[in-house]
Amino acid sequence: MYRHAFDKYAVNLQNYQIHVQYADSNKNCLKLYGHKMPINSFDISSDDALLVSGSTDKDIRFWDMDFGHSIKTVFAHSEPVTAVKFIHETHYVITGSKDGHVKFWDGDTHQLIMDLEENILEIRSIAITTAGDYIIAGGLDGGFRIWKQTNDQTIAGDQEEKNMDKVMIEEYATEKFKEREVKTRYEDLKHGEEIIEALENNEQPSFVLKLIKKVSPANLKSTLSFLHASHVNKLESYLRFSIKEKHEIELCWRIIEALDKSSDLGQELRKEWEAFSKVLRVNRESLKILLRSLRE
């Protein structure tokens, strides 16, 4: 890769270095090294003062073009940096990455100004008009995105504040989710204890099924997980009785599924359910015939 400055040019090498050469003599001027992985892109500012480089190590580095010092290393993207570009006659830098993000940086303060956050499959190249009013990014998806400069004032550091707000919101949401999870688990335990107590007190099968029916279908498996083997065996006997009496067939089926029972009990229930469904279909057809007769 080659970039030309006023009296120098730079090339990146396979040893993760950038060599700056004098344009008139081709003699080496500076050796810039520090990246830990291949350098995918670099650019020189219009005033020949700064060089920015982006690497597979996900960092961007700012270099002093007078002495070759590494001024600042910034962890810029979550995936390898594939493109870096200075805006003409400024020290503002645009970077692109395999993570699909295009970011806007201040090359003097090294702060993130804005994450343009477009859903591009993978940034392959970035171009900026000479006036700096348009930014174009090409992606692996075969398309490109164009951003136009506006008159809105953006202050360096705003993006960090937005990111912090985002993190705080995510942490708050996570905390709330944990609270709901604990509350749900407590409710499951409470329902489980009620069912266990009913089974131990030899309550009627209809009463036990009524307790289980109060449990949300989404939490049924969790609730029944509190039952010991002896309770499960007793519940199975209640289910057999209910199946025989054709009582709460659908609920019995859900309980068996929640208990992960694909045993003979499940087969019995399946037969009963099929027979029950057949009766329903017959009754439905009979009702249709009756309604047609009444209309005629």
Digit-by-digit pLDDT tens for the chain (296 residues) are 455 556 788 898 888 999 998 888 888 889 999 999 999 999 999 888 999 999 999 999 999 988 889 999 999 998 999 999 999 999 999 999 998 899 999 999 999 988 886 657 789 899 999 888 899 998 887 778 888 877 665 544 555 555 555 556 566 556 656 666 666 677 888 888 888 988 888 888 889 888 888 888 888 888 888 888 888 888 888 888 887 777 887 788 788 778 765 455 556 666 665 666 665 565 566 666 666 766 65
The Cα 92–Cα 72 span in angstroms is: 14
DSSP 3-state assignment of 124? strand
Q: What is the model's pLDDT at position 155? A: 47
Q: What is the model's pLDDT at position 152? A: 60
Amino acid (1-letter code) at residue 11? V
Query: Where does residue 292 rank: exposed (0-12), middle (13-18), buried (19+ CB within 10 A)?
Result: exposed
Q: What is the model's pLDDT at position 14? A: 84
Q: Which of 139, 72, 131, 75 is nearest to 102 (CA)?
A: 139
Helix 158-200 to helix 229-244 angle, to the nearest 10 degrees? 70
The Cα 113–Cα 93 span in angstroms is: 10
Q: Superfamily for 2-154?
A: YVTN repeat-like/Quinoprotein amine dehydrogenase (2.130.10.10)
Q: What is the model's pLDDT at position 42? A: 94
Where along the chain do the CATH 2.130.10.10 domains lie?
Answer: 2-154
Phi and psi for 295 in degrees, rounded to 5? Answer: -65, -35
Q: What is the model's pLDDT at position 237? A: 85
